């Protein structure tokens, strides 16, 4: 593949941000030399470990079978939060840690994480004091890294903040603050950060074999699924950070070993902004299945979720069940003046939580604490947790590796390490989530004005963002572009389907592919995107 002349070279930068061909060259140049860390998995956890290890000066390589954040890490509720539900459960340790990490992430990625106000509507006399006092405790636990103080709202103030709430029987509300972000975009920025720190990060690179000497893991065999090349990677430490696919790597290490993950499916739907036109989000504190339900403004849409459905097998493209979609519509419909129906849904998507097994029979009761396992072979597995605590999970993992693998002691620096693109920015800017890279995208538009055209009238993205993704963000497919480099598929599945041919043509021109490739890519994306339309049922496939 030929990426052509890059905007990075035009702007005179000495180093590309994250060009996959350069990453492959760096891997090949290493030859049989030993890396310090080889990380399997390119979601939130694996990327966090790559950033931590590389920023401590360790020689680090990360390989991901699919695209960065293809699985769970791009399918979250888009919240950086302590977890109100875990506070209700009494998990003080998890909430305190998460609130601390929320503050760190807001400071280190101000272009991606913002303060989001939430309203808990009160329809019963006891809800105001009960939730109000609980959220005051939430504020206190956040300490100096808090995002704002909670407060009680009158009925009139509640409706002023959220005018589409059902006013009948409304007594008032409680307003509190949490964080909101774009999960896949943060993953891409973490990959860039790792690369800036000297790591090699490769998507579409599948681990097929763990290499051992005298029962100890010394490396992996990985296949570049784009070109078909096989690479042997030797490393002092192998990290299994594959999320819901954790057990697949554990089985590769020790066939027949006990499974540790109890995957649970969470579904979200996307509605137009007129269902919740204000700036505040809504928290429904208790649904019929004992969870909380969020309705949150996101990219000028409303994201509503989530569900909790145990699943027997992890798949790379999980699909929402009809009853899950109906559940969300029913639960949020109790609180809105205009009740949404299936025809109002712009997109529906499902993600799998890598919950660590316990004696609990309900996945909604399993804690999101992370788990680090060290196998007899030396394989280190990090699993569980959630996006908000990814940095702490990575720190703990690298510390464990240092203790177990004889690596030199080096302090963690990620608590104060700015994530790529970090800049205080106006969130009304449609390019805000690119941070400092926004100037490079604007330079592309200045170079070729048609690149400033929108991909679709119902989507906020322009063609230059696809060019940038191909050149600087290891974007290799139409799905990469429309699902994770932009969030088109999640925001409006039908609009994403309609602009797929344009995106395929832009990518083909950048990556050196012909019209046949464009046709295949467009059709593959259309087939996948059908599963994001609410009236279509499908089943996912794929595993590590």
Claim to verify: residue 158 and residue 266 sit in the same structural domain: yes
- The answer to whether 226 and 84 have CB atoms below 8 angstroms apart is no
pLDDT at 2: 34
pLDDT at 290: 75
Claim to verify: residue 164 and residue 270 sit in the same structural domain: yes
Claim to verify: residue 275 and residue 347 sit in the same structural domain: yes
pLDDT at 407: 95
Claim to verify: residue 271 and residue 250 sit in the same structural domain: no
Claim to verify: residue 272 and residue 177 sit in the same structural domain: yes
Claim to verify: residue 300 and residue 267 sit in the same structural domain: yes
The closest of 348, 257, 264 to 313, measured between CA atoms, is 264
Claim to verify: residue 176 and residue 192 sit in the same structural domain: no
Domain boundary (357, 376, 397) is at 357
Has residue 103 been placed in a domain?
A: no
- What is the tally of structural domains in the chain? 3
- The answer to whether 232 and 221 have CB atoms below 8 angstroms apart is yes
pLDDT at 358: 66
CATH of the domain at 58: 3.50.50.60
Claim to verify: residue 194 and residue 253 sit in the same structural domain: yes
How far apart, in Å, are the Cα atoms of 80 and each of 67, 112, 293, 475, 505?
22, 10, 15, 25, 35
How far apart, in Å, are the Cα atoms of 54 and each of 29, 237, 404, 414?
18, 13, 18, 10
The Cα–Cα gap between 44 and 243 comes to: 9
Has residue 496 been placed in a domain?
A: yes
pLDDT at 134: 86
Claim to verify: residue 350 and residue 239 sit in the same structural domain: no
Has residue 5 been placed in a domain?
A: no
CATH of the domain at 470: 1.10.8.870
Claim to verify: residue 152 and residue 224 sit in the same structural domain: no
At a CB cut-off of 8 Å and minimum separation 6, what does 512 contact? 1, 2, 3, 4
Domain boundary (310, 334, 357) is at 357
- The answer to whether 275 and 344 have CB atoms below 8 angstroms apart is yes
Write down the pTM of the prediction.
0.93
Q: List the pLDDT tens digit at each of the 544 positions of the chain.
A: 333 322 232 223 334 468 899 999 999 999 889 999 999 999 999 999 999 999 999 999 999 999 999 999 999 999 998 877 666 666 677 788 889 999 999 999 999 999 999 999 999 998 889 889 888 888 888 888 888 899 999 999 999 999 999 999 999 999 999 999 999 999 999 999 999 999 999 999 999 999 999 999 999 999 999 999 999 999 999 999 999 999 999 999 999 999 999 999 999 999 999 999 989 999 998 888 778 899 999 999 999 998 999 999 999 999 999 999 999 999 999 999 999 999 999 999 999 999 888 644 443 334 457 889 999 999 999 999 899 999 999 999 999 999 998 899 999 999 999 999 999 989 889 999 999 999 999 999 999 999 999 999 999 999 999 999 999 999 999 999 999 999 999 999 999 999 999 999 999 999 999 999 999 999 999 999 999 998 744 444 333 3
CATH of the domain at 310: 3.30.9.10
How far apart, in Å, are the Cα atoms of 41 and each of 53, 63, 258, 382, 497?
14, 6, 20, 10, 28
Claim to verify: residue 464 and residue 528 sit in the same structural domain: yes
Has residue 84 been placed in a domain?
A: no
Q: Which long-range contacts (CB under 8 A, 24 or more apart) does 454-459 make?
A: 455/486, 455/488, 455/499, 455/502, 455/503, 456/488, 456/492, 456/495, 456/496, 456/498, 456/499, 457/495, 458/492, 458/495, 459/486, 459/488, 459/491, 459/492, 459/495, 459/496, 459/499
Has residue 1 been placed in a domain?
A: no
Has residue 79 been placed in a domain?
A: no
Claim to verify: residue 339 and residue 483 sit in the same structural domain: no
Has residue 544 been placed in a domain?
A: no
Has residue 292 been placed in a domain?
A: yes
**Burial class, 411, CB count within 10 angstroms (exposed 0-12 / middle 13-18 / buried 19+):** exposed
Which residues span the domain enclosing 391? 18-72+185-261+367-416
């Amino acid at each position: 593949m030929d990426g052509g002349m890059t905007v990075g070279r035009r702007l005179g930068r000495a180093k590309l941000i994250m060009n996959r061909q350069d990453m492959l060259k760096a891997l090949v140049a290493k030859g049989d030399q030993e890396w310090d860390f080889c990380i399997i998995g390119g979601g939130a956890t694996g990327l966090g470990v790559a950033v931590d290890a590389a920023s401590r000066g360790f020689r680090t390589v990360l390989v991901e079978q699919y695209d960065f954040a293809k699985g769970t890490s791009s399918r979250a509720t888009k919240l950086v939060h302590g977890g109100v539900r875990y506070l209700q459960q009494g998990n003080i340790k998890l909430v305190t840690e998460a609130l601390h990490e929320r503050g760190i992430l807001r400071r280190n990625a101000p272009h991606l994480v913002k303060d989001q106000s939430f309203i808990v509507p009160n329809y019963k006399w006891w809800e105001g004091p009960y939730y109000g006092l609980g959220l005051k405790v939430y504020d206190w636990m956040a300490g100096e890294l808090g995002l704002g103080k909670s407060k009680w709202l009158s009925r009139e103030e509640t409706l002023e903040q959220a005018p589409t709430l059902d006013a009948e029987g409304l007594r008032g509300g409680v307003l509190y603050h949490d964080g909101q972000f774009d999960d896949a975009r943060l993953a891409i920025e973490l990959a860039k950060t790792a690369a800036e720190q000297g790591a090699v990060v490769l998507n579409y690179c599948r681990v097929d074999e763990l290499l051992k000497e005298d029962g100890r893991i010394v490396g992996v065999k990985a296949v570049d699924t784009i070109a078909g090349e096989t690479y042997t990677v030797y490393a002092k430490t192998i990290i299994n950070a594959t999320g819901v696919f954790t057990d697949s790597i554990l089985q590769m290490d020790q066939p027949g070993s006990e499974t540790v993950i109890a995957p649970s499916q969470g579904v979200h739907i996307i509605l137009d902004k007129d269902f919740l036109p204000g700036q505040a989000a809504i928290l429904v504190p208790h649904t019929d299945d004992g969870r909380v339900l969020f309705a949150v403004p996101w990219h000028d849409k409303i994201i509503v979720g989530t569900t909790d459905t145990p699943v027997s097998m992890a798949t790379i493209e999980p699909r929402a069940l009809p009853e899950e979609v109906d559940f969300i519509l029913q639960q949020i419909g109790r609180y809105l003046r205009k009740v949404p129906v299936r025809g109002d849904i712009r997109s529906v998507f499902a993600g799998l939580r890598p919950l660590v097994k316990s004696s609990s029979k309900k996945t909604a009761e399993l804690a999101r604490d992370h788990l680090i396992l060290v196998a007899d072979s030396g394989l280190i597995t990090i699993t569980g947790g959630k996006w908000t605590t990814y940095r702490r999970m990575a720190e703990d993992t690298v510390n464990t590796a240092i203790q177990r693998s004889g690596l030199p002691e080096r302090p963690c620096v990620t608590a104060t390490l700015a994530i790529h693109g970090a800049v205080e920015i106006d969130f009304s800017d449609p390019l805000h989530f690119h941070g400092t890279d926004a100037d490079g995208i604007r330079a592309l538009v200045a170079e070729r004005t048609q690149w400033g055209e929108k991909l679709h009238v119902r989507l906020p993205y322009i063609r230059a963002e696809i060019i940038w993704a191909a050149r600087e963000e290891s974007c290799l497919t139409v799905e990469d572009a429309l699902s994770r480099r932009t969030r088109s598929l999640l925001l409006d599945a039908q609009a994403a389907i309609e602009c797929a041919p344009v995106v395929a043509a832009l990518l083909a021109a950048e990556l050196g592919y012909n019209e046949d490739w464009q046709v295949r890519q467009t059709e593959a994306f259309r087939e996948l995107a059908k599963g994001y339309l609410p009236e279509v049922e499908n089943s996912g496939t794929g595993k590590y």
